[in-house]
Structure 1
Amino acid sequence: MKFKKLFLILLLSVCSQLKAQEPLKEGSVLDNIVLKNIDGKTYDLNAQKQVKGFVLVFMTPSCDHCILYEDRVIALHKKYKSLGYPVVAIGPYGDNAVKYPLDALPAMKEMAVKKGFTFPYLSDENFKYTWLLGIKKTPTAVILKKQTKGYLIKYIGQIDDEVDPSRKPQNKFVEQRLNTLINKV
């Protein structure tokens, strides 16, 4: 009998840990993000008072697809920052220059300076937010809507449906979601 109770407690414990490791999805609430920016300072979403939300873009300097999207990410920031949804880029490999020298903080900074990024480019520590948000490829966008406590995840996915910057996308997923959000407010 004691063995069965112990086994049941152990099983429940393992199941709850597995559930806790599931990535957040659209409709979930993210408490906050606090990470190191390429300027060496800490960037805290909660410290940004004049926003309605954020467009997080997970991107890396060496990813061919990310390179093709750099100008579109810059355009998103220019268009939506004044509407309350600035871009915040996040480099999944930013904190590990030994294993990922082409995608770590120095490479991120070089790319941001070269392209003239006017938005933060944060280094994800130990893939914390990359895993928490279920990011499996770059670039991936996440739209967050600011709430009283935390940020409601409104979208996780592609920026649009056309990798080739010389062709016009049929669907601009991030813009469509943002326009819907902004028009509802």
Structure 2
Amino acid sequence: MKKLILSILCCLVLGISTNAQQRVLKLGDTLHNIALKSAKGQVYDLSKQKAKGFILIFMTPSCDHCLAYEKRIIALNNKYQPKGFLVVGIGPYGDNEKDYPYDAMPAMKKLAESKGFTFPYLADEKFKYTWLFNIRQTPRAVVLKKQKEGFSVAYIGYIDDQPDEKKTPTKKYVEEEVNKLLAGKVN
């Protein structure tokens, strides 16, 4: 009985210490870089891009909500890429074809090609950035502002307030944040 109690306590302590070590980024925190393999086969490195910032979209090929947002994500890229904010898609399951065959790199590549994505679509490695930004559903957006020492987290959340692709959103959260950053209204 003592061994059982000791084993349970050890598991609890290890679990608590492991969770304490998992850092989640919040608004205002700094991310040094993201460098992940793209659906085109190359490593895409944010720090090597000429940009004022990035709009990261966590999305999967088999998610109905993500599919409903495809046109809006493409529109975000078309609107903000010329202004220096680059859209980057990130597939949380991209590196795990065994467990997630409908959302892994082959499916991501097929989706990017069939929809003509002009933005990179990257495979997250072991959910590193998915967990780092506390992404629990897709699609979700993260807006990063380029700084001298990396990227400041400016926004984490929904793209807009309308998941129905047939309806027009009344609040465009990502656009509002990027517009503030472009106007210099946010540090």
- Distance in 2, matches of 1:180 and 1:47, equals 24
Residue 30 of structure 1: aligned partner = 31
- Distance in 2, matches of 1:15 and 1:92, equals 24
Question: Is 1:86 the counterpart of 2:97 in the alignment?
Answer: no
Residue 46 of structure 2: aligned partner = 45
Which TM-score applies when normalising by structure 1? 0.89
Residue 178 of structure 1: aligned partner = 178
Which TM-score applies when normalising by structure 2? 0.88
Residue 108 of structure 2: aligned partner = 108
- Distance in 2, matches of 1:152 and 1:19, equals 22
Residue 138 of structure 2: aligned partner = 138
Residue deviations 1:100-139 (CA, integer Å, cap 9, x gap)? 0000000000001111000000000100100111100000
- Distance in 1, matches of 2:158 and 2:34, equals 21
> What secondary structure does 1:74 align onto?
helix
What displacement does 1:150 show? Answer: 0.8
Runs of 4+ in 1 over 6 A off after TM superposition: 13-16
How many pairs align?
173
Residue deviations 1:143-185 (CA, integer Å, cap 9, x gap)? 0000000100000000000011221111000001111110117
What displacement does 1:22 show? Answer: 3.1
- Distance in 2, matches of 1:25 and 1:73, equals 23
Determine what percentage of the aligned residue pairs are the same residue.
55
Structure 1 vs Structure 2 CA RMSD: 1.7
What displacement does 1:30 show? Answer: 0.6
Listed as ranges, the gaps of 5+ residues in structure 2 are: 1-13
Q: How does 1:55-74 map to 2 (within 5 A)?
A: 55-74=55-74
Question: Is 1:150 the counterpart of 2:150 in the alignment?
Answer: yes
- Distance in 1, matches of 2:15 and 2:31, equals 23
Residue 6 of structure 1: aligned partner = none
